[in-house]
Amino acid sequence: MLAGQRGARRNAAPALFGKGDPPMTYTFTIAIDGPAGAGKGTLARRLADHYRLNLLDTGLTYRAVAHKLLELGLPLDNVSAAETAAHQVDLAKLDRAVLSAHAVGEAASKVAVIPTVRRILVEKQRDFAKAPPGAVLDGRDIGTVVCPDADIKLYVTASAEVRARRRLAEIESIGGSADFAEILADIQRRDERDMGRADSPLKPAADAHLLDTSEMAIEAAFLAAMAIIDDALAKRNKA
């Protein structure tokens, strides 16, 4: 598997502490949340590369559970099978190529409403975040539940129409075709499920920085995020 296909990536060298050597146990956490298709995955990758932090796309952990149930032909509300699948999730073996299928994303949004599945996966995600030099995690509940003490919290959003247009362009760029209205309805359904569930719904943490990418290219979002992070680092290094 290519390194770029993995959903979790470990980085050995801390690059963000400037001159002074950080203690080996020191970690820095960047939490990125937002709805599907807002660009948070790309942003997370760019930031992890730039600051040389570990990277975890937590959506892939829910996708891995859903993929297992689909593979076994089991209903997505089979709680005990979903719990077993959640225990089996290995963060080092999340295969983006297999898990990125649209149907798996839909199914992931359904298994993600099961509280016990969330607890099992959240524990793995927290362990990942704790390893030095720290990590960028992206998902739906990172700033609110998984890493409430994250050094930086970003909430990346874009209007449903813009996200649908981007998804359509992505499909067309690889020679496919799709109906805009269907994609939009799909995105709205997913938003409703992710924002409306009882356990850990998608919402910005009170102390999150909001980045609306509706009118912003990913490069501009990256620069805006970097400015926020560099400012926080400068304050910390001065303290």
> Which residues of this protein are in contact with ligand DC, per CB under 6 A?
36, 58-59, 62-63, 105, 108-109, 112, 139-141, 190, 194
Q: Residue 205 carries which DSSP code?
A: -
Smallest separation (angstroms) from ligand DC to the CB of 210: 18
**DSSP three-state, residue 9:** strand
Smallest separation (angstroms) from ligand DC to the CB of 91: 13
Instruction: Name which of 141 and 186 has its Cβ closer to ligand DC.
Output: 141
Smallest separation (angstroms) from ligand DC to the CB of 21: 32
Smallest separation (angstroms) from ligand DC to the CB of 7: 9
Instruction: Name which of 59 and 133 has its Cβ closer to ligand DC.
Output: 59
CB 69 within 8 A of CB 78: yes
Instruction: Name which of 46 and 190 has its Cβ closer to ligand DC.
Output: 190
Structure tokens at 221: 């979002």
Instruction: Name which of 51 and 62 has its Cβ closer to ligand DC.
Output: 62
Query: Shortest CA distance to 98 belongs to which of 20, 187, 2, 205?
Result: 2
CB 131 within 8 A of CB 54: yes
Smallest separation (angstroms) from ligand DC to the CB of 192: 11
What is the C-alpha to C-alpha distance for residues 57 and 41, in angstroms, rounded to an integer? 7
Instruction: Name which of 172 and 192 has its Cβ closer to ligand DC.
Output: 192
Q: How many CB atoms lie within 10 A of CB 37?
A: 23
The residue type found at 135 is A
Instruction: Name which of 70 and 233 has its Cβ closer to ligand DC.
Output: 70
43 CA to centre of own chain: 10
Smallest separation (angstroms) from ligand DC to the CB of 109: 3
Query: Shortest CA distance to 49 belongs to which of 152, 135, 147?
Result: 135
What is the C-alpha to C-alpha distance for residues 202 and 35, in angstroms, rounded to an integer? 7
Instruction: Name which of 16 and 53 has its Cβ closer to ligand DC.
Output: 53
201 CA to centre of own chain: 14
Sole residue written with tokens 């030095």: 132
Query: Cis bond leading into 204, ω under 30°?
Result: no
Smallest separation (angstroms) from ligand DC to the CB of 23: 29
